[in-house]
Amino acid sequence: MPSFEDTVRFIQQAHEGQTDKSGEPYWKHPVAVASIVASLYNGNDDEQLAALLHDVLEDTPVTKEQLAEMGYSPATIEMVRWVSSNETRGSMTYLEWIQHIADNAPLGSLKIKISDNQHNTRPGAPPGLVKRYHKSMAILGDALDYRN
């Protein structure tokens, strides 16, 4: 399985040319999410790698088959798949999709999505998104507490 450092290099390439809303290189966001997963949840290797990869299926041409060929574990790929809206959302609203994740996804996916939303609500985030992400974090947090 690729290491944390290998995965950081990979996401730097995969997200090359992409920037976040503040103009920062986009790959820094998944690194921050992985850091939150590690610090808040003592995330295991699969969870931390999935956190690094959490946007590659959604925002790049990378496929889950390519991730498997690269040596990522089925558990890592499954967590990434669950938090990728193009893989699991379908026609659901955002909060319906979040409830679907809360009810069905591996626990690591809940940790990753909470951490993703937490990073997306950092100072300067649009108030409408902050409200939506706070609702999402509440749903996912309740599910995580219940399922643990």
Buried b or exposed e, range 119-128, using 16+ CB within 10 angstroms: bbbeeeeeee
Q: 24: domain range?
A: 4-147
Residues 6+ apart with CB under 8 A from 29: 20, 55, 119
Task: Indicate the number of domains in the chain.
Answer: 1
Q: Write down the pTM of the prediction.
A: 0.95
* Model confidence band, residue 118 (pLDDT cutoffs 50, 70, 90): very high
Task: Kindly report the CATH number assigned to the domain that includes residue 97.
Answer: 1.10.3210.10
Q: Token pair for residue 52?
A: 């690094």
Tell me the pLDDT tens digit for each residue of 3-55.
999 999 999 999 999 998 788 999 999 999 999 999 999 999 999 999 999 99
Q: What is the pLDDT of residues 121-140, one digit of tens each?
A: 988 888 888 899 999 999 99
